[in-house]
Amino acid sequence: MNKKAYINRSEVKNYLATADPTVLNYIEQCELQIDKLAEIGFQLSAERDLPTLLNLIIEEGMRITNSDGGTLYLRTEDDRLAFEIMKTKTLGTDWGGVSGTPIPDFIYPVKLYMQDGEPNDHMISAHVGLSGETLNIPDAYENEVYDFSGTKAFDSKANYRSKSFLCIAMKNHESDIIGVLQLINAADPITGEIIPFSEDMQKLIESLAGQAAVAITTVRLIEGLESLLESFIQLIADAIDEKSPYTGGHCSRVPALAIMLAEKVNQTKEGPFGDVQFSREDMDELRIAAWLHDVGKITTPEYVVDKATKLETIYDRVHEMNTRFEVIIRDAEIKYLQAVLANPEKQAELEAEKLAEIAQIEEDQQFLNECNTGGEFMADDKKERVTSISKRQIVLKGEKQNLLSDDWVLNLNISRGTLNNDERDKINDHIVVTIDMLEKLPFPKHLKRVPEFAGGHHETMIGTGYPKGLTKADMSVQARIMGIADIFEALTASDRPYKKGKTLSEAMRIMGFFKADHHIDADLFDVFLSEGVFQDYADQFLDAKYIDEVNVQQYLEIQPKPLSN
């Protein structure tokens, strides 16, 4: 005779409905609890904020058992149980967690071990935290095994009566006890009478505690990995800082500025960014990309990154140049003395010629020293003068040669800044290295776009940037934010060895040109202006002497130039 391998649950319920309604009601309540526990499990696995997670655990524990109060402890590294959340419905207390009310100072963590090293088995939470044993105590006042003196003192002050206790260890997947969940005063759902915690309640809470422990461990693991990543990023920034203190300052300020602008974009409800909304994960992704946007500079030679003057390589060759001028002046003196010996009657005339020649030499020397400092623009007539001066002859080691070598002339005639074309290529190559390095890292899903964001800060809106020649349509909003943050920080930075920091108005004038020339995103720059991002950044990071008045409306009215077909 064949029998069914199982009996359908609905069939059992239909049978019991005619046989014993009380049993049916009990089964239905159990089903509801089981279904709710499954739902809680899903919520616990999905929650990533630890305070919210802890609050969910204790709230559900109190709901399942219909208890009046609860306490959630987490084990600390120094073998204590720290109070994370304390709730009592009838007293209206809600401390710790997401409540906004901290645990009072007079409530100290529970020591798991006594001063002599013995286990603290007198306190129920400590005993459970050490042994993992569940303690279900019907009436604390009648219990003589554990120390409830603190509970009784609290009751006396609060005019409260603690009675039934259920104390359960929270064990993670490795059976390590990471905390304790303690529920107080289970109440009869009909009469409200304080009753002991039933065995069914205990089993449900033990299941909840197990799920909670795994969820807490998961959140802590994620937090730990995120902390490790943050530390690694900071380590890289510190390494760049050690290599170049100027770049290091840049690496820390660009993230701050990028996040400031992104937050204002988030608050925009109309216009091009009305539908743009960055989640917390998006903001983390942008921040990490901003921290790492110059990581490729680790491979750039120091003398290029920190090139303060045009003649600087491993050392500043301007000192060698000035030594050569001293040699020329010495030769002029020798020539004068020899001429006087040959024609003593012309001494006055010869001395005048010598003084004029030395004056010209010193003027040329000063001019070349000024050229060596670099700047925003070097006119063609100055370049021609450098070339002309370079051809002055000097005798070194018995050989006649030009005052300046071709390499020196090339560097002194750099039009903007202090870098020649080869050195600028080395600097520009850092972004290629940055992208290559970041694309090799196995970023988690929510950080997959870090290489894109970090690698786009030298692109323009019309494909004239590098390294990929992207256009606005090819770039995410975050990558375009990076471009503005990188440029504005560089313009206003006062810690560069090769230039002076610019005032706000000077920086904005240049940014205005970039807006007109499609070098930066005009819409984002308008947010940067209208929402006062530049001012917030200046107040936080710039010296007061660089903060001056900016005519915001003037730059808002700038329209990007029409693009030729």
pLDDT tens, position by position, 410-453: 989 888 888 888 888 787 788 888 999 999 989 888 899 999 99
pLDDT at 5 over 60: no
Q: Classify residue 203: in a domain, yes or no.
A: yes
**In whole angstroms, what separates CA 165 from the centre of its chain?**
44
**Are 268 and 407 in contact, with CB atoms under 8 Å apart?**
no
Structure tokens at 247: 């770049």
Are 206 and 59 within one domain? yes
Domain boundary among 383, 418, 453: 418
Q: Do 200 and 56 fall into the same domain? A: yes
How far CA 230 is from CA of 260, 433, 442, 449, 451, in Å, comes to 19, 21, 15, 17, 16
Residue 72's SS3 state is strand
Residue 50, pLDDT score: 85
Q: At residue 525, what is the residue type?
A: F
Please indicate, yes or no, if residue 253 is contained in any of the structural domains. Answer: yes
Instruction: Tell me, yes or no, whether 455 and 365 share the same domain.
Output: no
Are 148 and 140 within 8 A, CB to CB? yes
What is the pLDDT at residue 13? 55
Q: Which of 149-163, 176-190, 235-249, 322-336 has the lowest mean pLDDT?
A: 235-249
* Phi and psi torsions of 426, nearest 5°: -65, -40
* Domain that residue 373 falls in: 318-418
Q: Is the dihedral of CA 284, 287, 290, 295 positive or negative?
A: negative
More confident residue, 194 or 14: 194
The verdict on residue 433 lying in a domain is yes
Are residue 205 and residue 335 in the same domain, yes or no? no
Question: How many angstroms separate the CA atoms of 391 and 452, rounded?
Answer: 49
Torsion sign over Cα 127, 129, 130, 134: positive
- Residue 223 pLDDT exceeds 80: yes
pLDDT of residue 266: 95
Provide the number of structural domains found in the chain: 3
Q: Are residues 187 and 156 in the same domain?
A: yes
User: Quick one: 90 and 211 in the same domain?
Assistant: yes
pLDDT given at position 35: 61
Nearest CA to 370 among 431, 304, 305, 321?
A: 321
Q: Residue 339: which residues within 8 A CB-CB, separation 6 or more?
A: 346, 350
Q: Are 219 and 47 in contact (CB under 8 A)?
A: yes
- Give pLDDT, residue 170: 94
Give residue-wise pLDDT tens across range 277-295.
999 999 999 999 999 998 8
Least confident of 88-102, 181-195, 300-314, 525-539: 300-314
CATH no. for residue 503? 1.10.3210.10
pLDDT at 541: 93
Is 24 within the bounds of a domain?
no
pLDDT of 34 > 70? The answer is no
Same domain, 64 and 148: yes
pLDDT value at 98 more than 80: yes
Mean pLDDT (the chain) is 87
Q: Which of 370, 400, 418 is the last residue of a domain?
A: 418
Residue ending a domain, among 175, 206, 221, is 221
**Which three-class secondary structure state does DSSP give residue 405?**
coil
Predicted pLDDT of residue 1: 42
Instruction: Indicate if the pLDDT at residue 25 is higher than 70.
Output: no
Residue 232 lies in a domain: no
pLDDT tops 70 at residue 2: no
13 falls within a domain: no
Under the banding of pLDDT at 50, 70 and 90, the label for residue 180 is very high
DSSP of 413-450: T-SSSS--HHHHHHHHHHHHHHHHHHHTS---GGGTTH
Indicate if the pLDDT at residue 472 is higher than 90. yes
Asked whether 215 and 83 are in contact (CB, 8 A), the reply is no
Residue 335 lies in a domain: yes
Least confident of 88-92, 230-234, 304-308: 304-308
Asked whether residue 207 is assigned to any structural domain, the reply reads yes
Q: Residue 363: which H helix or E strand, with range? A: helix 347-372
Percent of the chain whose pLDDT exceeds 90 = 56
Q: Does residue 274 sit in the same domain as residue 400?
A: no
- State whether 469 and 360 are in the same domain: no
Q: Where do we find the tokens 């440029």?
A: 487
Whether 390 and 371 share a structural domain: yes
pLDDT score of 91: 94
For tokens 């080395």, the residue is 426
Better pLDDT: 308 or 447: 447
Domain identity same for 411 and 430: no
Distance CA 461, CA 458 (A): 10
Of the ranges 39-48, 153-162, 171-180, which one carries the lowest mean pLDDT score?
Answer: 39-48
Angle at which helices 199-243 and 280-292 pack, to 10 degrees?
30
Percent of residues, the chain, with pLDDT higher than 70: 89
Contact in structure between 369 and 355 (CB atoms under 8 Å) = no
pLDDT value, residue 500: 72
Q: What is the pTM of this model?
A: 0.66
Stretch 128-145: mean pLDDT: 95
User: Confidence band (pLDDT; 50, 70, 90) for 3?
Assistant: very low
Question: What single-letter DSSP state applies at residue 272?
Answer: G
Lowest mean pLDDT, pick from 50-64, 323-337, 413-427? 413-427
Residues 342 and 441 in one domain: no
- Is 20's pLDDT higher than 80? no
